[in-house]
């Protein structure tokens, strides 16, 4: 069932079918339902109890989906003040505010101030910004990943982000002109 204009729905977990407001912002591109469903099928055994970072959060759909499926904590980073406010309102309305934190800051700046470690990171920057490689390098350099963490990277098919050599491709899919890939961090290769 498609969401009404300006809304998307959480597709699984205890918040299933809850609606998330989507403010009208240029370049805002929530991860499609079909891709989120595939991603969270891949993550089914990994989300419960995980500490999650939704970098470049936008609507926060990925982090909210993780909270709905049992993540212990989610940190959302969103530069746009209006999107950050909408995300806080959705977290409060869905009663997820005690297990989450919204940082209204530039993602790369916010990464520099994070406490390690995360079990799962969603890396889905605005496509036009091309920040995959810079964010991945900073995540690795700051030690923000646990030994066997997972990193989800969403990018256009035309992009080839340079990722750390110890991020091994675990699974991937394509939806239209978007490549959705899940990487597993191999600490032995770090």
- Name the nearest CA neighbour of 28 among 89, 86, 97, 96: 86
Query: What is the 3 state secondary structure string of 117-182?
Result: CEEEEEECCCHHHCCHHHHHHHHHHCCCEEEEEEEEEEEECCCCCCCCCCEEEEEEEEECCEEEEE
157 belongs to a structural domain: yes
The range of the structural domain enclosing residue 176 comes to: 7-189
84 belongs to a structural domain: yes
- Name the nearest CA neighbour of 145 among 45, 56, 53, 42: 53
pTM: 0.91
Percent of the chain residues past pLDDT 90, beyond the cut: 63
Residue 64: count other Cβ atoms within 10 Å of its Cβ: 28
- Tokens representing residue 62 in the block: 């990925």
Residue 4 pLDDT exceeds 60? no
1 belongs to a structural domain: no
153 belongs to a structural domain: yes
Average pLDDT over residues 79-99: 93
Please report, for the domain that includes residue 37, its CATH number.
Answer: 3.40.50.150
57 belongs to a structural domain: yes
79 belongs to a structural domain: yes
DSSP for residue 2 = P
Average pLDDT over residues 37-48: 94
The confidence score (pLDDT) of residue 46 equals 94
Q: Please count the residues of the chain.
A: 190
Q: What does the DSSP assignment read for 41-91?
A: HHTTTTSTT-EEEEET-TT-HHHHHHHHTT-SEEEEE-S-HHHHHHHHHHH
Residue 103 pLDDT exceeds 70? yes
Instruction: Using pLDDT thresholds of 50, 70 and 90, give the confidence band for residue 65.
Output: very high
Q: What is the pLDDT of residues 106-135, one digit of tens each?
A: 888 888 887 778 999 999 988 878 899 999
Domain count, the chain: 1
160 belongs to a structural domain: yes
**How far, in Å, CA of 179 to CA of 62, rounded?**
16
Among 21-30, 149-158, 179-188, the range with the most confident prediction by mean pLDDT is 149-158
2 belongs to a structural domain: no
**How far, in Å, CA of 30 to CA of 7, rounded?**
10
């Amino acid at each position: 069932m498609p969401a009404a204009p300006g809304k998307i729905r959480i597709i699984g977990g205890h918040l299933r079918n809850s609606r998330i407001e989507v403010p009208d912002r240029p370049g805002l591109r929530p991860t499609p339902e079909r891709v989120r469903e595939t991603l969270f099928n891949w993550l089914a055994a990994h989300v419960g109890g995980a500490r999650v970072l939704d970098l470049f959060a936008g609507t926060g759909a990925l982090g909210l989906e993780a909270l709905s499926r049992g993540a212990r904590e989610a940190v959302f980073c969103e530069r746009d003040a209006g999107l950050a406010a909408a995300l806080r309102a959705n977290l409060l309305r869905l009663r997820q505010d005690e297990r989450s934190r919204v940082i209204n800051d530039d993602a790369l700046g916010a990464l520099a101030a994070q406490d390690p470690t995360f079990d799962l990171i969603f890396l889905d920057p605005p496509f036009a910004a091309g920040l995959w490689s810079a964010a991945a390098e900073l995540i690795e350099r700051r030690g923000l990943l646990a030994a066997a963490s997972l990193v989800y990277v969403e990018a256009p098919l035309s992009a080839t982000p340079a990722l750390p050599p110890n991020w091994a491709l675990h699974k991937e899919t394509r939806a239209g002109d978007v490549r959705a890939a899940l990487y597993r961090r191999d600490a032995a290769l770090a």
